[in-house]
Amino acid sequence: MTQPTPIRRDGHRPLLLDLFSCAGGAAMGYARAGFTVHGCDVADRPNYPFPQHRGDALEYLAHLIATGEIERYAFVHASPPCQAGCALTVGTNQSQGWGRAHVDLVAPTRELLDKTGLPYVIEQPNGRAKIRKDLVLCGEMFGLGVIRHRNFECGGWTIEQPAHRPHRGRVRGYRHGRYFDGPYVAAYGNGGGKPSIPELQAAMGIDWTNVREELTEAIPPAYSEHIGRAFIASRTMRVAA
């Protein structure tokens, strides 16, 4: 049976567009799953391990759609900024009167992704970001040294939700002046018993950047490798059907 929507490939590997790509946590996982990855980020990211366009991600996506170049791609991953909805912003920071106005690009990102006609995921941290939680992943599912829950909205395809594994203990660090030990490190911020750069790299499974900001903003590659393998497998099964 012919597959209705064949996977577009760059050589032998499907081509994936990684928007708001930062230093490449998601990108590395997709590459390990079997994709060729192209990134896009507004900031200069010399540690990004794959070809990367520097510029506004939504403007770049709109350009790819307008020119038809988007048709080269098989899949899109997007991690738009939404600090307005993250748990830290709406929790501790808000209660203390800290912080500032934050940008929320989830809705315009989804609108453009839908125009591509391609399958995609939008990734967001826990909080009030307005996405469907089609998939929720946690570091414990992959034996990592971080908890780092992340939510994924899937457009144009589906993925099975794996069972959430109970956490083995606390996140190491200070809480309200008291120190707690535990099997996980805090992959955010500075001080308060936060991990060293080597500890954070080991906990996240990232070894190509030693920039703390990039490490704390990244998703563990294990997450996107899981997503990428599931997507490729779903298309392979449709070909075989």
Our measurement of the distance from residue 232's CA atom to the centroid of its chain's CA atoms, rounded to an integer in Å, reads 17
- Pairwise CA distance, residues 129 & 89, whole Å: 11
The most confident of 65-79, 173-187, 225-239, by mean pLDDT: 65-79
Write the DSSP symbol of residue 89: I
Query: Half-sphere exposure (CA, 13 Å, Cβ side) for 204?
Result: 32
Residues in the chain: 241
- What Cα–Cα distance (Å) separates residue 132 from each residue in 90, 115, 122, 150, 183? 18, 18, 9, 12, 30
For residue 10, pLDDT beyond 70 = no
pLDDT at 3: 37
CB 65, CB 112: distance < 8 Å: yes
What average pLDDT does the segment 102-115 reach?
A: 91
pLDDT at 91: 42
For residue 93, pLDDT beyond 70 = no
For residue 217, pLDDT beyond 70 = yes
List, for residues 141-184, the tens digit of each pLDDT value: 999 999 999 999 999 999 999 999 999 999 999 988 899 999 99
More confident residue, 158 or 240: 158
